[in-house]
Amino acid sequence: MADTYDLTVIIPTFNEEENIAAIIGAVNEIFLRSSIHGEVLIVDDSSKDRTIEIVQEIAGQNDNVRLIVRREDHGLSQSVVEGFGAARSEILQVIDADFSHPPELIPRFYEAIRHGADIAIGSRYMKGGDIEQWPLKRRVISLGATVFGRILFPEVTDPVSGFFAVRREVVFGAPLAPRGYKILMEVLGRGRWHSFVEIPFVFKDREEGTSKLRPDTMVDYLRQCAGIARFSISRRAGPVWEEWTKIVRFGLVGLSGILVNMGLLYALTEVAGLYYLISAAIAIELSIVNNFVWNDIWTFGAVDNLRFERKVQRFGSFQAVSMGGLVINMAILYLLADVAGVYYLVANLAGILIAFAWNYGINRHYTWVRA
């Protein structure tokens, strides 16, 4: 399709007569102010109220406003995907009609994609992001959904956000299986992308109309998570697969380190006759070296593997992070066991898990940042 525009703003709607004129006006205003040659694409699921009439009237007066009225396969995600297919530009933005997503941020998403990101995600859960006026029940449900999403995409703070922009190649021809509300999860799970950025925003609850979120949307969502996991495992590729192979490998390397540690402690104490604390210090250090070597070659497959001085740098960093992890493990063990009275083996397990998250997170983003 000919790219007539710089940007397409896709607005899915269902019964949005109170908001639709205002949101189209706001988006057009932003196009004007930011010199973006943009189009507004309303994808409506046969609204029962006056939404369609209102959009038709606006579209009659504005060349860059288009309406698609869907008659079957009702659904927010399906509508967005239909919008992807009909857009006349390289860069696609999705935004809700009810002003929950501040339209003023659209130029930032647009610029992020123009500067190379494949996906720009509006995040409520990063620094600077927030949710206003949500009842506790909704916050809890949303947080639950986010936790599942973040298991699949540990790198993304808000994988269920409905506010995002994407380069068309990411979704073009991708095997998206749109269902339910969380279209971004599909894009992340099945789209073809390499990089993303997150843009913090404050989600404001709608002032007009009602949310269409229903309990069966949650069942849909869990199915969707399972579908993405299955898809990633069967293909053995893609972002979910790549991140999780790293996490699993890092964990296996950690286990190998425990074996090295215990084996050396035994051998140095019993066979070489060293004092057990001296053996332990040597055993700990050598298990850190063991872990580093395997993580460097296997887990993160460092690209500049062969440059000795880089390797030394990475080792220094890994060593420091590991010591930090040790301190975290001990601190949590002490706090839980001694202060909170938790059984010490359980306390230690919590310490190990948190230290693992620390070790993985920092090493992933710092030590092997370019791997």
Which residues in this chain contact ligand GDD in the complex, by CB under 6 A?
12-14, 16, 43-45, 74-76, 79, 96-98, 100, 142, 160, 162, 181-182, 206, 211-213
75 binds, among Mn ion, ligand GDD, none (CB under 5 to 8 A by kind): ligand GDD
66 binds, among ligand GDD, Mn ion, none (CB under 5 to 8 A by kind): none
Do the Cβ atoms of 189 and 238 come closer than 8 Å? yes
Q: 220: Cβ–Cβ under 8 A, 6 or more apart, which residues?
A: 179, 180, 181
Q: Which is nearer to ligand GDD, 69 or 362 (CB)?
A: 69
Do the Cβ atoms of 279 and 265 come closer than 8 Å? yes
66 pairs with which residues across the strands? 41
45 binds, among ligand GDD, Mn ion, none (CB under 5 to 8 A by kind): ligand GDD
Stretch that binds Mn ion, among 198-206, 229-237, 257-265, 338-346 (CB under 5 A): 198-206
Q: Which is nearer to ligand GDD, 100 or 367 (CB)?
A: 100
Q: Is 206 in the site for Mn ion (CB under 5 A)?
A: yes
179 binds, among Mn ion, ligand GDD, none (CB under 5 to 8 A by kind): none
Stretch that binds Mn ion, among 42-50, 91-99, 214-222, 263-271 (CB under 5 A): 91-99
279 binds, among ligand GDD, Mn ion, none (CB under 5 to 8 A by kind): none
Do the Cβ atoms of 168 and 83 come closer than 8 Å? no
Do the Cβ atoms of 1 and 68 come closer than 8 Å? no
Q: Which is nearer to ligand GDD, 97 or 265 (CB)?
A: 97
Give the shortest CB-79-to-ligand GDD separation in angstroms: 3
Do the Cβ atoms of 325 and 358 come closer than 8 Å? yes
Do the Cβ atoms of 185 and 160 come closer than 8 Å? yes
Using CA atoms, how far apart are residues 172 and 54, in angstroms rounded to an integer? Answer: 30
The helix (run of H) or strand (run of E) holding residue 66 is strand 65-69
